[in-house]
Amino acid sequence: MALERLHVTLVFWDGPRSGIADFQGTPHHFECELDATGNEYAETYVMTQAADELVVLAREHETIREDWWRAYQSGEASAQSNPQRLGQNPRLAELEKLIEARIAAAPAPSFRVRGAFHAFPNAPVGEVYKVEWRPLV
């Protein structure tokens, strides 16, 4: 079982659903698919190699979120100061638009895989999840 690095989580719902993670050591954008009913997340992901610019933007986005989380955990920031709240952080909002545009402009998805995210709760912020990618059978 090879665990790969999760660089950035863009959507989190009961686990990472969209973001950037390594696949065979190279950053890829991943997007979780829905199951046949369209109501639940599946264990399959659409993968597209991530351009360097997308990785840089996504890492800046994640750094803003992680910095706030550390401050919140230490009592230096309130829940109301969360940068994801509307109007709290203009740069974060700008980054979200830039990231969405880069993802939309990316080439068609390269391939699909199964993914299993593993949590390491005592790891430093930004390293809590690793992912294991498996071929579809």
Question: H/E element holding 28?
Answer: strand 26-34
In order along its 137 residues, the chain shows pLDDT tens digits of 689 999 888 888 888 999 999 999 999 999 999 988 888 899 999 999 999 999 999 989 989 988 998 899 999 999 999 988 877 889 999 999 999 899 888 887 789 999 999 988 787 766 778 999 999 97
Structure tokens that stand for 39 in this block: 């109501």
Residue 101, pLDDT score: 93
Cα 56 to the chain's mean position, in Å? 13
| Residue 69: Cβ within 10 Å count | 15
Record the pTM. 0.82
Phi, psi angle pair for 120, to nearest 5°:
-125, 80
Q: Mark residue 55 as left, alpha or beta (left: phi above 0; alpha: psi -120 to 50; beta: remaining).
A: alpha
The answer to whether the CB of 21 falls within 8 A of the CB of 5 is yes
